[in-house]
């Protein structure tokens, strides 16, 4: 039987390949989970590109923390854009080097006497 618009071919794997070229991240996820996560972010963000980027970010967090993506989604549901960004920055900052933290806008000023002892 040929595949049509209304008929899903059960021989095909119902997964979606999620990738981010900038961070060199790639994983395969269940298509249903991807649709659930992306539809949530499309409701939160008006920009479809932002929704896709946040979807990839949530799958990246789920992959690297070994937590189910739907558990992470349940944790962030009900948050506005600012709270959502802060929560995802928290998770991503735990996965990144301390020299490349996200969402840090206040510069840390070292003590004057300690700073002058640092060699260039």
Reference 93, options 104, 106, 80; nearest CA is: 104
Q: Where are the alpha helices (DSSP H) in 10-115?
A: 31-44, 48-65, 69-76, 81-95, 112-115
- The answer to whether residue 23 sits within a structural domain is yes
**Residues near 81 by Cβ (< 8 Å), separated by ≥ 6?**
44, 45
Question: Number of structural domains, the chain?
Answer: 1
Question: Is residue 61 included in any domain, yes or no?
Answer: yes
In a domain? residue 7: no
For residue 41, the tally of other CB atoms under 10 A from its CB is 22
Look at residue 31 and tell me whether its pLDDT is greater than 60: yes
Structural domain boundaries enclosing 26:
15-115
Domain membership flag for residue 9:
no
Q: Is the pTM of this model over 0.85?
A: no
What pLDDT is attached to residue 1? 47
Has residue 8 been placed in a domain?
Answer: no
Domain-located, residue 6: no
Contacts of 44 (CB under 8 A, 6+ apart): 51, 54, 80, 81, 84
Q: What is the pLDDT of residue 39?
A: 94
pLDDT digits (tens, 9 = 90+) for 51-94: 888 898 889 889 888 999 999 999 999 888 888 888 888 888 88
For residue 1, is it within any domain?
A: no
> Does residue 89 lie in a domain region?
yes
């Amino acid at each position: 039987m040929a595949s049509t618009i209304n008929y899903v071919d059960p021989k095909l794997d119902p997964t979606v390949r999620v990738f981010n070229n900038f961070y060199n991240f790639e994983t395969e996820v269940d298509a249903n989970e991807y649709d659930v996560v992306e539809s949530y972010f499309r409701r939160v963000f008006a920009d479809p590109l932002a929704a896709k980027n946040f979807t990839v970010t949530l799958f990246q967090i789920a992959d690297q923390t070994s937590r189910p993506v739907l558990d992470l989604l349940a944790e962030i549901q009900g948050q506005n854009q600012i709270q959502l960004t802060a929560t995802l920055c928290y998770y991503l900052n735990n996965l990144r080097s301390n020299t490349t933290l996200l969402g840090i806008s206040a510069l840390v000023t070292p003590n004057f006497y300690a700073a002058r002892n640092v060699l260039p």
